Chains A and B, each alone.
Chain A
Amino acid sequence: MTELLHATVTILTDPVTMALAVVATLVGIILGALPGISSTMTLAVLLPFSFSMEPGNAMVFLLGAFYGSAWGGSISAILINIPGTPGSMLTQLDGYPLAKRGQAGVALTYALIASTFGGVVGWFGLVIFAPTLARAGFAFQSPEFAVLMIFGLSMLAYASPGSTFLAILAGMFGLLLGTVGLDMITNLSRFDFGIPRLQAGINIIPFAVGIFGLTEILKLLEQPIVQEKAATQIGEIWPRFRDVIKTWATAIRSSIVGLIVGIIPAAGSAVAVSMSYAQEKKLYEKTETFGNGNPRGIVAAETGNNAAVGGALVPLLTLGLPGDTMTAVLVGALLIHGLQPGPQLFTKHPDFIATIYVALALTIVLTFVLSLVLTRAFAKLLSAPPRILYLGILILCVTGSFAVQNALFDVLLMIFFGALGYLFTKLGIPTAPMMFGLVLGPLLEENLRRTLVVYGDWMVFFQRPIPVVLLAITAVVLLLPFFGKVRERLARAALEAGPD
């Protein structure tokens, strides 16, 4: 506690540190908003700048960029339907339709409030529970992971709007896409059609940019471009307070999911947002539709995404275990400053841990304030003349796909998926389930097959507590609609039989 106070005072009163925090957060937001530049890349590019800084300043600098970019990705997701980072893939499902309705400002503010809420929950999770929660991540081994993916996929399939059949079909196609490339267990290449580049698999970013960004442009081009008239209004910046408050339960649930998934090493933000979004979609399937600009969808994805940041730091600080590629870069930074992340970091360097806590809190506040100031400017981008706007978005689609792996092939992949997405939209096949299949499928396969290597037996799924519970819930989720129909039929039969 005294360390926390001391660190707060030190950081807040040092002008250099504060300047670094502001610069890093801004750079993070901007790089995160650029499609194709992930949080990991942002950190890797900024890492060498931190070599010459003091350890404390280096952490303020890197955490600022980390958190800033996690939020920045949502800006492009909402405004132009292209996710800036994998963690913002689901924000656009509801954010972009809302922006298209002329409420870009509202959508951004919702996302900002939600991500800040998630960030704060993640921060408290980190500070209060870090030492006790660290070991909890170990409960998730290969069998648990495999079942978690099955759980997520089945919830997503049944909660999709429109035809369940088409949603499942699209999801299966996504799973199939996830099998492309070198097989993790045997190192043999699958479905590469003799194209060496496909050995690396289908990267999620060119896929998402194509299927959402490019498809959207193609759809927009169907309509004649209105001469130089602003197509989109920025609209209000502030949503109604009453509406924001209505999503409180979603915010809390999604933060908890994000925090937990963040703590599980190697799960990553894409999984965190998929899980929290799926949960809300399932819970409100009767009363609300998602994917049409429902603020609840934005809130679910954003709180999950940013709560995962705090969660990901838990195994890093307590066990020296990076939960994802972003925290792996932070490990590198710690090592360079002579700090070995691991069990002893807490006991040997409590002051440094406190610095990290304060740095994260500072960047959450800075991101909120800076973004609030900039929201109007961001949203204003949309009121550019359509032909310039579309051209700009197209350029971002191309550069974003290229930037992920510096590969022209990814641009071709993006164009392919753009065309495919357009075709699917015309046929009425939902494209979002495809993305879930591509994100969760490879993790499911890898963990399922590893489980069988380790335990050599399918029975293991029924002998461990977490898989049993998750499988039971999955079975209930899958069978409930069916039972509902049976009950309905029985009731109707009873009713018909009744009057006799």
Chain B
Amino acid sequence: MSLKSIVVAALSALTLSVSGAVAADFPTKPVSLVVPWPAGGGSDILMRMIAQKTSEKLGQSVVVVNQPGAGGSLALREVADGDKSGHTFSMIATGFIAEQYGNPNAPTLDQFKVLAFVGTDPAIMAARADTGLKTLDDLVRKAKEDPGKLRNANDQPGGTSYVAASLMKLKLGIDYTLVPYAGSAPVVQAILAGETQLATPSVTDLIAQHEAGEINILAVAGVERHFLAPDVPTFTEAGYPLVTGTVRALVVPADADPAAAEVLGKAIVDALNDESFNKTARDAGFTITPMGSEEATAFMENLDKEMYPVLLEAGLVKVRQK
């Protein structure tokens, strides 16, 4: 039965690629989705789902190409300077906004045309249950008693989780030590093992431990409560308005062929709105709130504007001061 569905999927992809040529001369060949992260991570898995669905809508295969390195800056620099025919697109995330100001080689937002917004996976503030912390107010009280004593597990400076931890620090008006780890799995390990008392990963990373009562998720930095943790309040509800997390958007170079970009953008937005895609992505814990090119561009520009002072404050602005 499973084999059958694979065959069916393969056949339908084949027929689509024969019949689906819509716009004038795009796409003329397989399209590459450059994922600036290693294969196997959260963003990579989501991008593979998007590639699969976009390929169906586009009637042309979409190939995922992993080009990890230097927080994604290497691949994004190459994409920004590379193929303008619309056959190469890539993904930017929260870390990209930070990298613009931290890495002299990183491309900037104005070097890309934003095709579509995928969604925001909100960051969380989690504490070990044995700290007794249950709410953000508890955390603020405890941190003020002994500033800098609490430790938070996050990724490397400029990473999503690091930026989130810095933002929360500012918003809550408290001080804790940021301890960098190489990615989300070591972050989870650190808080579970007790090397840190706090951690700021995403909901899927710690939801099981939250349900088991080992970890308390204090708040979610989303617009609304997360569907996997309906009992956890948002930062805004708790009285500290803050929205942060892994923001994902799909981009082509700023000077890419506009006609091709439009066709590609439409296929991607169709894919993001597709019901079966939404179900698979949601099952895997991803938040999908699609936006088209215009809205997405405004969103990313606004994010850039909002994050800059925070990055400045956190000492992450080393190049391109505004």
- Seen from chain A, the residues whose Cβ lies within 8 Å of a Cβ on chain B are 16, 19-20, 40-41, 43-45, 47-49, 51-54, 57, 137-142, 181-182, 184-187, 189, 196-197, 199-201, 265-266, 315, 319-323, 325-326, 328-329, 332, 335-338, 340-345, 405-407, 446, 450, 453-454
Contact = CB atoms under 8 A, between A and B. Distances in A.
Given A196-B74, A265-B185, A406 B65 contact: yes
B195 interface: yes
Given A48-B48, A52-B9, A336-B284, A407 B67 contact: yes
Interface in B157-205: 157-158, 177, 179-182, 185-186, 188-190, 192-196, 204
A438 to B, nearest CB: 16
A265 B183 CA distance: 12
Interface of B: 1-3, 5-6, 9, 38-42, 44-45, 48-49, 52, 65-71, 73-74, 77, 102-103, 105, 151, 156-158, 177, 179-182, 185-186, 188-190, 192-196, 204, 207-209, 211-212, 214, 280, 283-285, 316
A51 B195 contact: no
A196 B105 contact: yes
A322 B182 CA distance: 13
B265 to A, nearest CB: 23
A52 B2 contact: yes
A320 B285 CA distance: 14
A201 B182 CA distance: 14
Contacts of B158: 187
A331 to B, nearest CB: 9
Contacts, number: 170
Nearest to B2: A53
Nearest to B3: A16
Contacts of A186: 157
B208 A44 contact: no
Task: Specify which of B9, B39, B158, B283 lies most central, judged by the most chain A CB atoms within 10 Å of its CB.
Answer: B39
Given A44-B39, A199-B105, A446 B204 contact: no
Contacts of B66: 41, 44, 405-406
A20 B284 contact: no
B179 A450 contact: yes
Contact of A40 (B40, B69, B179, B180): B40
Contacts of A315: 189
Given A51-B280, A343-B209, A450-B179, A43 B70 contact: no
Contacts of B73: 196, 199
Contact of A196 (B2, B77, B204): B77
A335 B284 contact: yes
A310 B99 CA distance: 38
A435 B108 CA distance: 36
A342 B280 CA distance: 20
Given A47-B48, A199-B70, A454-B179, A337 B283 contact: yes
